[in-house]
């Protein structure tokens, strides 16, 4: 059987070794839909080509008495819709739920040839990925699938974060990891009640200016997810897989959504989830490098010739390390244009 890594192609020569294994198919937004909701299901053909990834959700947000309808709906949609270059993923139920075995059995044997990636929620450690990996191997053999399914883990438990490096390396099927801020907040016993984003109470305050503690002070809201995103990115890059920010639940707040996505992009994530068509456009904009940034990166690479030594460009020092950063931007732009 071919390794899932056969579906990866190298980035530009000179890219750091782990980055050479990044999948070439763009996945700037993983757009969630409820396959059992007829209105939503009817819109899926129109979404093809608009989102990089369409994901049929079977887990949270699908009521317990609608789990089978969602699973059946996904089978029907996968058979009827031509997804073209758009990837089709699913999020199955968690490994401790009564539904996951039927999810995997049904989906792999009936539409395994149509699915690209299986997202596994609430992953606690590498043993969860080993379990899914073995089960998928059995089911793929039963279905006679030539192409192995890839696995994407959601990082949304405190144990998962503690074990993220082992999770990222747990199987050659691992495609990537997403931060799941809502479940993670609950698992960590954070005192929040929202799906991703910041919190007005999580802030730092500048020192007072004079004698009065009240004078001249400014407060800055902080990013609750900075540590976890950065740790997840390191774990993913070290393992040669892709990191993603997850959901942003306040659909109306497009500004804060864009900020959260951009923080994730700047820290190394390649995409985020979208829960509404508005968020598809935000993710497309944020996770595609800006033309001016790509032009600057190309200028730096050109100016650096063989990449050794140092040059000044518009007053800024360039060297081997800036060339490598610029290669990341250019490789991403080339991949997205391909």
Burial 109-148 (b: 16+ CB within 10 A, else e): ebbbebbbbbbbbbbbbbebbeebbebbeebbeebebeeb
CB of 94 to Mg ion, least distance (A): 9
Name the binder of 73 from Mg ion, ligand GLV, none, CB < 5-8 A by kind.
none
Is 126 an interacting residue with respect to Mg ion (CB under 5 A)?
A: no
- Spatial distance between the Cα atoms of 316 and 246, rounded to a whole number of angstroms: 35
Burial of 175: CB neighbours in 10 Å, binned 0-12, 13-18, 19+: buried
Q: What is the DSSP letter of 314?
A: T
Is 247 an interacting residue with respect to Mg ion (CB under 5 A)?
A: no
What is the dihedral sign for C-alpha 107, 135, 175, 279? positive
Is 103 an interacting residue with respect to Mg ion (CB under 5 A)?
A: no
How many residues are there in the chain?
338
Is 140 an interacting residue with respect to Mg ion (CB under 5 A)?
A: no
Q: 47 or 182, CB closer to ligand GLV?
A: 182
Check if the beta carbon of residue 328 is closer than 8 Å to that of residue 298. no
The CB density around residue 249, as the number of other CB atoms within 10 Å, is: 14
CB of 146 to ligand GLV, least distance (A): 31
Is 23 an interacting residue with respect to Mg ion (CB under 5 A)?
A: no
Is 183 an interacting residue with respect to Mg ion (CB under 5 A)?
A: yes
Name the binder of 247 from Mg ion, ligand GLV, none, CB < 5-8 A by kind.
ligand GLV
Residue number with the shortest CB distance to Mg ion? 183
CB of 248 to ligand GLV, least distance (A): 9
Is 34 an interacting residue with respect to Mg ion (CB under 5 A)?
A: no
Check if the beta carbon of residue 219 is closer than 8 Å to that of residue 201. no
Q: 107 or 179, CB closer to Mg ion?
A: 179
> What is the maximal distance between C-alpha atoms in the chain?
76
Name the binder of 127 from ligand GLV, Mg ion, none, CB < 5-8 A by kind.
none
- What does each C-alpha distance from 262 to 28, 207, 245, 256, 329 come to in angstroms? 12, 28, 10, 10, 15
Site for ligand GLV, rule CB under 6 A: 60, 121, 154, 156, 180-183, 195, 246-247
Distance in Å from the first CA to the final CA of the chain: 27
Stretches 34-42, 141-149, 153-161, 253-261: which one binds Mg ion (CB under 5 A)?
Answer: 153-161
Q: 139 or 161, CB closer to ligand GLV?
A: 161
CB of 24 to ligand GLV, least distance (A): 26
Name the binder of 176 from ligand GLV, Mg ion, none, CB < 5-8 A by kind.
none
Give 18-48 as a 3 state SS string: HHHHCECCCCCEEEEECCCCHHHHHHHHHHE
Number of residues that bind Mg ion (CB under 5 A): 3
CB of 334 to ligand GLV, least distance (A): 31
Instruction: Pick from 73, 112, 180, 240 the residue near Mg ion by CB under 5 A.
Output: 180
Name the binder of 117 from Mg ion, ligand GLV, none, CB < 5-8 A by kind.
none
C-alpha torsion angle, residues 334, 86, 259, 321 (rounded to 10): -30
Name the binder of 246 from Mg ion, ligand GLV, none, CB < 5-8 A by kind.
ligand GLV
List of residues contacting Mg ion (CB under 5 A): 156, 180, 183
């Amino acid at each position: 059987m071919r390794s899932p890594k056969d579906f990866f192609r190298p980035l530009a020569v000179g890219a750091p070794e782990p980055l050479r294994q990044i999948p070439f198919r763009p996945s700037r937004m993983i757009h969630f839909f409820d396959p059992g909701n007829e209105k939503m299901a009817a819109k899926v053909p129109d979404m093809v080509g608009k989102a990089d990834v369409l994901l049929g959700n079977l887990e949270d947000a699908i009521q317990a008495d609608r789990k089978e309808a969602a699973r059946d709906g996904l089978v029907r949609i996968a058979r009827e819709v031509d997804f073209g270059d758009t990837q089709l993923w699913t999020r199955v139920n968690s490994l401790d739920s009564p539904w996951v075995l039927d999810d995997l059995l049904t989906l792999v044997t009936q539409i395994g040839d149509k699915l690209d990636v299986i997202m596994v929620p609430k992953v606690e450690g590498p043993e969860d990925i080993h379990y899914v990996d073995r089960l998928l191997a059995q089911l793929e053999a039963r279905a006679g699938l030539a192409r192995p399914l890839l696995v994407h883990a959601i990082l949304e438990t405190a144990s998962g974060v503690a074990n993220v490096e082992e999770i990222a390396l747990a199987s050659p099927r691992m495609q990537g990891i997403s931060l799941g801020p809502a479940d993670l907040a609950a698992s960590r016993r954070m005192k929040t009640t929202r799906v991703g984003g910041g919190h007005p109470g999580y802030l730092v305050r500048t020192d007072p200016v004079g004698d009065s503690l009240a004078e001249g002070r400014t407060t800055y809201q902080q990013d609750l997810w900075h540590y976890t995103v950065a740790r997840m990115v390191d774990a993913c890059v070290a393992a040669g897989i892709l990191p993603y920010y997850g959901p942003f639940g306040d659909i109306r707040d497009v500004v804060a959504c864009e900020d959260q996505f951009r923080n994730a992009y700047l820290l190394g994530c390649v995409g985020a989830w979208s829960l509404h068509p508005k968020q598809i456009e935000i993710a497309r904009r944020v996770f595609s490098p800006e033309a001016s940034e790509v032009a600057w990166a190309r200028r730096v690479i050109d100016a650096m010739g063989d990449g050794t030594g140092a040059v000044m460009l518009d007053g800024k020092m360039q060297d081997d390390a800036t060339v490598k950063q610029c290669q990341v931007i250019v490789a991403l732009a080339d991949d997205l244009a391909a």
